[in-house]
Amino acid sequence: MTSADLWFGRSHAERLARAALTPASWLYALGWRAYASLYDSGLKRAAEPHSPVVCVGNLVVGGSGKTPFTLFVSDVIASLGWPVVIGCSGYGSPAEEAARIAPAGMLDAAEWGDEPAMIRMLRPNLPLIVGRRRVLAAELCHASFPDAVLLMDDGFQHLPLVKHLSIVLDDPAPINGRCLPAGPYREPRGDRHKADLLIPDDCGIGRSPVRLESTEGEVAEVGDYAVLCAIGSPQRFLAELEAALPPKSRRVAEQLLPDHDPLREGNLLDAFPPDVPVVVTAKDWVKLRARADVGTRRFLVAKQDVWAEPAEDFQAWIRARLHECSTSSPPG
């Protein structure tokens, strides 16, 4: 039984397993409340080595679209005249153990993590600080980019660092609102109201249709195709992909692997017909491009733009809040 089956499955066994684990979820929530109360009461004080720090986070395990929305927020902040540095965890990579400023150029996903490598591919000029030690990341940002906005991709649950602005993506009507292990929530769902902006409650979110690009960046059309992905919400991706493609397009094979799978092991591509293109996400492509057998197949990278709605209201909100929490005006 996978975690998705446990959390969202409708069979008798899956419902029974959720019920059996619910007391453990209550204990998890109680433990989180006790931990958070240390900061709420002032017994522990969060560090503030840099300002402003903006966090795009969520409350659940798995994909909620944080990274694409983080890129949108980075574009908005940059359009207002602020330099931006993105901080991300580098989940599953050696870089996650501390915090480091990533070098210029394309990043090896095996060393830096799939999400940092994807961000660098999509926004080549954005400085990146990678690692789970968020306080150290803020210190590095302040030392090397003192005038920048540190924009955190995830980290809403990281209480040791002061976040001056928190944007949280959360489903307003989740199928399962329990905490781990009986549900996907990393903290009690009531904490969502600690965010400065809840999406989609306080602000709408728009998504463009999925488009397919060749690995050289050219928009491509497709007939029969296969799908290979290792993301947090594969079923949503498949549905959006199918909705965007013409009726003649037909998915003839698929391989859905766990989120952040390195995609380095075994003969992944042998499961697909040799004459059809393999559709992958940008997060998958930054790992697959390092494989020795990548040249034997045609890959199409699925891309999708996201934004806040109304865009003008979101931009005005960000501008006002950054001026409130910053000690200086945007450079220039």
Please give the backbone phi and psi of residue 27, each rounded to the nearest 5 degrees, phi first.
-65, -40
What pLDDT digit, counting tens, does each position of 49-70 carry?
999 999 999 999 877 789 999 9
Query: What's the confidence (pLDDT) of residue 331?
Result: 62
Please give the sequence-ordered ranges of beta strands (E in DSSP) within 170-223, or none if there are none. 197-199, 204-207, 211-214
Give the residue, 100 or 270, on which the prediction is more confident. 100
Q: Whole-angstrom Cα distance, residue 248 to residue 144? A: 52
Query: What's the confidence (pLDDT) of residue 189?
Result: 95
Residue 318, classed as helix, strand or coil, is helix
> Which residue ranges make up each domain of the chain?
53-204+307-325, 211-304
- Strand-pairing partners, residue 206, are 307
Q: Whole-angstrom Cα distance, residue 6 to residue 60? A: 14
What pLDDT digit, counting tens, does each position of 150-185 carry?
999 999 999 999 999 999 999 998 999 999 999 999
CATH of domain 53-204+307-325: 3.40.50
Q: Are strands 204-207 and 306-309 parallel, antiparallel or unpaired?
A: antiparallel
Q: Whole-angstrom Cα distance, residue 280 to residue 288? A: 9
- Strand-pairing partners, residue 161, are 47
Q: Whole-angstrom Cα distance, residue 198 to residue 203? A: 7
